[in-house]
Structure 1
């Protein structure tokens, strides 16, 4: 785990290293119990990671396993590649300053003294080291068992240069925002420099664009998500979630695939 002090939220992050070792909790009992969860809610799993961080690959591998195991459950994985590691020898091609700012916002919401990688936040209110398997499984189980505070439906269509998303949010209430993430399901990079230099890293659920949508009183509408330059929509999906602006708690979530053949 690599930890970074927050010097100014609006300005972003300054790299100040306090290194501790990340660890992984495994156990067949945890896996068995996780597979028997009675589902009524959902789990939005946000991983903050970087190809420049040597502690991050185990967390990437963990969420990849979770993705396969929970393919039939409302578990929504979002991998945000932060950009503050880029200055240390390797520029992560999936990184964005916007994702660093989002992690910084969680530090405010959750009263953290610093941010770090790999970090996971589940449903906007529980955070921990991203490679802690037992903690992640327990947090997902808790989210799946909890009654959701709202509802969300999405319908995404691939059109010329963007993804058009029809949405309907129920029970969102005031002081909430709909966030729509364009997610690349798989990616791989041969890292040339930095802490992971010489390694080929695989990723899942890579966020390529994140858009905020102000909800009207009816909670319905259509939003357009721009496609990055030179980006193919094949192998992608849209994940949306409704988040409280004051606390960070996530009230509802959903996802939608789209037919790449509808592009025109």
Structure 2
């Protein structure tokens, strides 16, 4: 009888584990569907992932935001991937990395009173941070942000010409301790990685920030972005957001797609 109990226990534990995992996967799929399609009149979620092609633990975080972005119809969900440069000395130079994005992550460490920076790190609305591959924490933070307080609408218009994109914004709430940031975002990208921790992998990316401009905030104003060679409007989008200088909190956001 003892051996029978041990066999039942041995078989039962894996089945319980599989049942728990199946429940979590279904729950997360439902959360993603809700985030993608349930626009609300109240909150918004600005999602910033700090990642790198040189980091072995980053692809799962990249895949998570790709699942969030695929089929996304929620105009209040704004996703950006910032590729940092401090992994570039590990044998692979991330072609999307910028020192300025590393500095932005360091600024978040100061705002959020963190002892260090790491990848993959994800920040929601400048207020909440977590490991970017922690699916439950990420989805929970985004859902909470979408249920947040009302933000006045920010409106964007764009005019393309002479290799530049001029963005006009209106509806910003002026604040002497705030600035407006404007990101030029490449919707999809791929890289064949042949060195470093992800050597031999083909990595897919979404919402890659290629430029980030910031300036003092006014009720309305313009921002000029230099367009990359071969720019095709349908492959890109612009995300603008208002951020408090002293806390990092993001209080307004908008995006422009073609």
The alignment's TM-score, normalised by the length of structure 2, stands at 0.84
Structure 2 partner of 1:148 = 150
Asked if the contact 2:39/2:76 (under 8 Å) is kept, the reply is no
**Is 1:199 paired with 2:237?**
no
Asked if the contact 1:30/1:137 (under 8 Å) is kept, the reply is yes
Structure of greater Rg:
2
Structure 2 partner of 1:78 = 80
**Is 1:226 paired with 2:226?**
yes
Query: How far off its partner does 1:27 sit?
Result: 2.9
**Is 1:32 paired with 2:30?**
yes
Q: Distance in 1 between matches of 2:249 and 2:62?
A: 23
Structure 1 partner of 2:211 = 209
Asked if the contact 2:175/2:217 (under 8 Å) is kept, the reply is no
Asked if the contact 1:34/1:141 (under 8 Å) is kept, the reply is no
Cα deviations across residues 105-127 of structure 1 (Å, max 9, x unaligned)? 00000000000000000000000
Write 1 or 2 for the structure with the bigger share of helix.
Answer: 2
Cα deviations across residues 33-61 of structure 1 (Å, max 9, x unaligned)? 55445622110000000000000000000
Structure 2 partner of 1:87 = 89
Asked if the contact 1:56/1:118 (under 8 Å) is kept, the reply is yes
SS state at 2:70 partner: helix
Gaps of 5+ in 2: 1-22
SS state at 1:101 partner: helix
Structure 2 partner of 1:247 = 247
The alignment's TM-score, normalised by the length of structure 1, stands at 0.83
Structure 2 partner of 1:18 = none
Q: Structure 2 residue aligned with 1:132, among 131, 134, 152? A: 134
Query: How far off its partner does 1:152 sit?
Result: 1.1
**Is 1:45 paired with 2:47?**
yes
Q: Distance in 2 between matches of 1:105 and 1:53?
A: 21
SS state at 1:41 partner: coil
Cα deviations across residues 85-113 of structure 1 (Å, max 9, x unaligned)? 00110000000000000000000000000
Gaps of 5+ in 1: 1-24, 259-264
Root-mean-square deviation (CA, aligned residues, Å) is 1.7
Asked if the contact 2:91/2:196 (under 8 Å) is kept, the reply is yes
